[in-house]
Each structure stands twice: as C-alpha cells, then as structure tokens.
Amino acid sequence: MKYQDLLQQIAKNKIAPVYFFYGEEEFLKREALQVLYKKLVTEDQKDFNYALLYGKEVSAGALIDQCQALPFRSDRRLVVVQEIEKFQDKAKLLSYIEQPNPSTCLVLVAGKLDNRSRKTEFYAALKEYEVVFWPLFKNELKKWVEQKFRGYQKAVNPETIDFLLEAVGPNLANLDSEISKLVVSLPADKRVTLAAAQKNIFRSYAAPVVRLEKAVAARDLDRALLALQDLFAEGGASTQALWIISQSWRRLLIAKEMQSQQASPGDIMKKFNIKKFDEQREFVENLPKFNLAELLSKHKKIADTDLAIKSGRQDPLWALEHLIIDLCR
C-alpha cells in the first residue's frame, strides 16, 4: 500500500500486526511512525508499550521478546525496528512474522534496498505488509501541502500552494518547516493567502535563478515572471537571467530532437546528467508542453533579446519580461 492508504487505515483503527516501510522518502516514513505512535501509545505508558530498536544492534531473541510482550493498560504495543536490512537473523524473525502477536504492531523500517535484496525470502514474506514511500507526484504533493495547512486549521488556495512549492521546492522537510513558520506568523488568519505567503516565505531553498529555469521549462508564465522580478530585486544581472533562459530553452530543444530520433527517457536523462527522481519526473512532465517547431522558431527570439539589451535599444527588465511571455504563452 501507499503512505496515503496507511493513513486511512490508521484513521479507521485498521492496524496490521506487521508493517514493512521502504522507499526513498524518509520524511514520510517518520511522519507515518508519528501517526502510529500517537494512535497506539500514550506518554505515561511509553516505557511499557513502545520500543525503538535498530537492526544492527538487536538480537532475534530480544526483538521477538519485545513483540511477544503484553501491552500495559492498552490494546496494542508498538515496536519499531530501524535499518531492518542490517538485522542478522532474518530466519528467526520470519518465523514470528508468519504468526505475529495480534497485540503488537511491529514496524520494520528499511533504508536503501537494491532489487536483488527485495527478491529474497525474507522480503517476499513481507509483501502483504509493505508500505511504499516514494517521492510524491506533483498532484500528491499539492494534496500533502493542503492537508498540512488543514492540520493547523488553516485554509489555502491552489495559487498559494503553487507558490510555496516553487519557492521551497519538493523537499518535504523544508516544506514542513516553512508551513510551520507561515502558520506561526499568521495566528489570527483562517486562510493563508498568496500575498501572505509571498511576504513571509523564506526563499533561500530555491534561489530566483533556479526558480526561473524551472518555471520556463514548465511553461509557467506567472512563476517565471515572479522569479525574474526576484532575481532583479536581489541585484541579478540581465545577462545572468538571459543565460538561464537560454540554457533552459537549449536543453528542451536538444531533448525534443532526441525524442524525435526515438531516444529513450533514460538516454535523455543521461545526456543532461539528471539523476534525482523528482527532477527526472519534472523534466519528463515538461517535455510534452513544447513541440520541436516552436522551440526552434522561438530560439531566435532569445538571441534577438540579447542583442536588444546589449545595444541599449530596450530596457533589460522590459525586454526579458516580454521574452518570457513569448516563450511561455
């Protein structure tokens, strides 16, 4: 199941005796563990009903003893094993998993696992208990942000969410921190507006140069113009902005040419050295927004704008704004 499915099950009190957490998104793993902890453990009982263990350190006997122990004044105990891939005696633990104690919720949390490890008998036995934590897709990320605000009893509109994602980026820990800061800065407001977010948000996670490149590649006019304004406000030069736009456009052009020659997405990612999963996904999502003919025809307008600025015929900010409008519309 996915992270969202797990939250729904916990809310309905449908908690399994075993969970196997794996995947790249560590923040969501921590968040899911917090939800389980709040559901199953009270602070006055945590010494009796909660155990945090590490795979490299705990023996099979000690782990199974923790799982077989009865809860104290509660229906369930919570036992969490971090770095389960480092646990040595998986065969003994496998025998417990086949008949788990219904009054214990055992959560096995994996770090990085290669495909070969995933095919072993131990992980195959965990298949029915696995919860996958992959980086969220864009629509899932927007829902996650909205739910975060809702948890603080704050409403937020789509424009504000888009701005937050653009300013901070997809890192969940950074987003969580910025959402908390926004909420603290607006204690009396029931709705977080775009203006309030723009005034209060800490933007160093995504500098204007990065946001400008991403916005042009995504054909997002509003965010591209906002990033350009921020770049100039911070003392950025027109030559810098034009170089960013030119590089972003050139990369799109080459990628489209490679697509026309039947190149695979993997070959395109390798060409531009795009390794991070979220960046790969973003690039693949952006490519269909352009066609090769328009990329070629508008490429000349970048050179024309460069000449107009260097010759002094046009104001740099005005010229760049009109170039971005032309490229993104």
168-214 pLDDT, tens digit per residue, is 778 898 899 889 988 988 888 899 998 888 777 755 545 778 888 88
CA distance linking residue 292 with residue 314, whole number of Å: 28
Report pLDDT for 232: 85
CA distance linking residue 292 with residue 294, whole number of Å: 6
Lowest mean pLDDT among 27-31, 52-56, 266-270: 266-270
Query: Does residue 53 carry a pLDDT above 70?
Result: yes
- Identity of the amino acid at 276: K
Q: Which of 58, 67, 60 is nearest to 90 (CA)?
A: 60
Report pLDDT for 202: 57
Q: Looking at per-residue confidence, does 187 or 324 come out higher?
A: 324
Report pLDDT for 133: 92
Distances (CA, A) of 22 to 87, 101, 133, 182: 15, 22, 6, 31
Structural domains of the chain, with CATH = 3-132 (3.40.50.300), 138-200 (1.10.8.60), 208-328 (1.20.272.10)
Q: Looking at per-residue confidence, does 305 or 167 come out higher?
A: 305
Average pLDDT score over the chain:
88
Q: Band the pLDDT of 304: cuts 50, 70, 90.
A: very high
Share of the chain above pLDDT 70, in %: 98
